[in-house]
Amino acid sequence: MTDAKKGPGLTAGLKNKLIQQALERKLRQAERSQDRQATPPIPKTPKVTIPEAFTRFDQHPGYRQLRIMNDGAARMGVRSPFFKLHEGVAGAETRIAGKNYINYASYNYLGMSGDPVVAQAAKDAIDKYGTSVSASRLVSGERPLHRELERALAQLYGVEDAVTYVSGHAANVTTIGYLFGPRDLVVHDELIHNSVLQGIQLSGAKRLSFPHNDFDALDRLLAAQRHEFERVLIVLEGIYSMDGDYPDLPRFVDIKQRHHAFLMVDEAHSLGVMGATGRGIREHFGLPGTAVDIWMGTLSKALAGCGGYIAGETALVEHLKFLAPGFLYSVGMPPPVAAASLAALQRMLEMPQRVSALQQRGALFLDQAKAAGIDTGYSTGYAVIPAIVGSSLKAARLSATLFERRINVQPILYPAVPEKSARLRFFVSASHTESQIIETIETLVQAL
């Protein structure tokens, strides 16, 4: 056979190639058309009107309630008792706006804040380590002072180890929030501190409360509930910060053992206050440190610093140091703060007479107040003594009246306590004199 006749026009091969390309284009167009038909059009976003109150902080319900309270107090001629500016060390006495006052608004229980030995320890730490460790302790913020303070706290409680946090509130929140979860139960005294409640909320654990200091009610609660949960935590305070009383700790230890639960005691207000040498509620009852699973406390009261701690067995502390968010992701405690608290702890053990003086002054205040007919509620005279007056307005006015007479004491108002339990809260110090306490009670009775 011979080739097709050659002449003008396309060759057969080129013509076939062009036809193939045209067919492919049509096929792609058809596929795109099908895709457009299969994909529904994106609907137009409906117009939504967001209320202005959701975009303004001055319309937040909490702030509006605060404004109502402050404006109402101003109309009644009651000045705000909060955020007073102290001009020096706040101990048994303080200076505000150029005037001296007997001071019951600071929990400098043993007079360690302002103690020259404690202050010098903080100054020396600044000279050696600076004012900040500038990192979380896990990565680069560890200093010898941290370990010395934690060893001293562990020895104080007779347990294996301790860990310090830069905030007492955060110590409770992150410890409870991390260690417990949705399959667990946390049971607490009905008057427990806010930091415990926040920690439970973070954890997602079931939360139940029992009547104040009622160990029988706790026993019944656990008998009915314990089997439904994996881990169970019982939380108490060593001294309750609003009422000044304490639990019968041995009874709670027995209950936690029988129901296979953990027991946590918040010693924010009992360390340095209870026990012959200030070792707290366990010394008061003669219990070993291992009787309680989690000891918690703060460094800002008797120990003249700032922050919190957890003390207990090695497995607990090591776990928290590596994984509790409030420790892991927070900067390490500043060196002068750690040094001050360590020095205050050592001074407390060296000077038990300060603890004894505090206990004597507290007992005197309580006895004088009761004899004068003042409602002191549950207080046992250990440093925290309320004068319950029955309404927030009355408490605020009474605080203002005492302030005019050179006595500084803060009112505790609703919602921090029930309205009918509004009060003045007196923090007694080892540095208060007997004459100051007697003068205070006489002035309080006159003001009432």
Return the number of other C-beta atoms located less than 10 Å from residue 434's C-beta: 12
- Examine residue 70 and state whether it is found in any structural domain, yes or no: no
Short-list 69, 84, 75, CA closest to 403? 84
Same domain, 412 and 356: yes
Cα 312 to its chain centre, rounded Å, is 19
Return the pLDDT at 37.
62
Order the strands of the 93-96 sheet from edge to edge: 93-96, 99-103, 407-408
Same domain, 383 and 286: no
- Percent of the chain past pLDDT 70, that is, above it, reads 94
Over residues 100-127, the pLDDT tens digits come to 999 999 999 999 999 999 999 999 999 9
Catalytic residues: 241, 269, 301
Is pLDDT above 60 for 153? yes
Same domain, 105 and 160: no
Same domain, 360 and 389: yes
Is pLDDT above 50 for 1? no
CA distance 325 to 323: 6
Tell me, yes or no, if the pTM score tops 0.85: yes
Over residues 14-49, the pLDDT tens digits come to 767 777 777 777 777 766 666 666 556 667 777 788
Q: Count how many Cα atoms sit within 13 Å of the Cα of residue 359 in the half-sphere of its side chain.
A: 16
Same domain, 205 and 278: yes
Same domain, 278 and 306: yes
Is pLDDT above 70 for 293? yes
Q: For 432-437, which contacts have Cβ atoms below 8 Å and span 24 or more sequence positions? A: 432/92, 432/102, 432/361, 432/365, 433/92, 434/361, 434/364, 436/92, 436/102, 437/361, 437/364, 437/365, 437/368
Same domain, 195 and 259: yes
Return the pLDDT at 52.
87
Same domain, 391 and 285: no
- Examine residue 411 and state whether it is found in any structural domain, yes or no: yes
- Examine residue 41 and state whether it is found in any structural domain, yes or no: no
Return the pLDDT at 35.
60
Q: For position 244, which CATH number holds?
A: 3.40.640.10
CB-CB contact of 341 with 149 (8 Å) = yes
Which of 333, 363, 384 finishes a domain?
Answer: 333
Same domain, 142 and 262: yes
Provide CB contacts within 8 A for 128, sequence distance 6+: 335
Return the pLDDT at 36.
61
pLDDT band of residue 9 (cuts 50, 70, 90) is: low
Is pLDDT above 60 for 230? yes
Q: For position 411, which CATH number holds?
A: 3.90.1150.10
Is pLDDT above 50 for 370? yes
Over residues 67-112, the pLDDT tens digits come to 887 887 788 777 888 899 999 999 999 999 999 999 999 999 999 9
Q: What is the mean pLDDT of the chain?
A: 92
**Average pLDDT score over residue span 414-442:** 94
- Examine residue 342 and state whether it is found in any structural domain, yes or no: no
- Examine residue 50 and state whether it is found in any structural domain, yes or no: no
| Number of domains observed in the structure of the chain | 2
Which range marks the domain in which residue 291 is found?
133-333
CB-CB contact of 442 with 392 (8 Å) = no
- Angle of the 352-371 helix axis to the 434-447 helix axis, nearest 10: 30
Is pLDDT above 50 for 258? yes
Same domain, 139 and 278: yes
- Examine residue 347 and state whether it is found in any structural domain, yes or no: no
CA distance 129 to 186: 40
Q: Over the range 136-169, which residues count as b (16 or more CB within 10 Å of their CB) and which as e?
A: ebeeebebebbeebbeebbebbbbbbbbbbbbbb
Is pLDDT above 70 for 6? no
Over residues 326-355, the pLDDT tens digits come to 999 999 999 999 999 999 999 999 999 999
Same domain, 107 and 232: no
- Examine residue 303 and state whether it is found in any structural domain, yes or no: yes
Same domain, 286 and 320: yes
Residue type for position 196: V
Which of 306, 333, 360 finishes a domain?
Answer: 333
- Examine residue 39 and state whether it is found in any structural domain, yes or no: no
CA distance 250 to 147: 31
> Which run of H or E residues covers position 304?
none
Return the pLDDT at 72.
77
Which of 303, 333, 363 finishes a domain?
Answer: 333
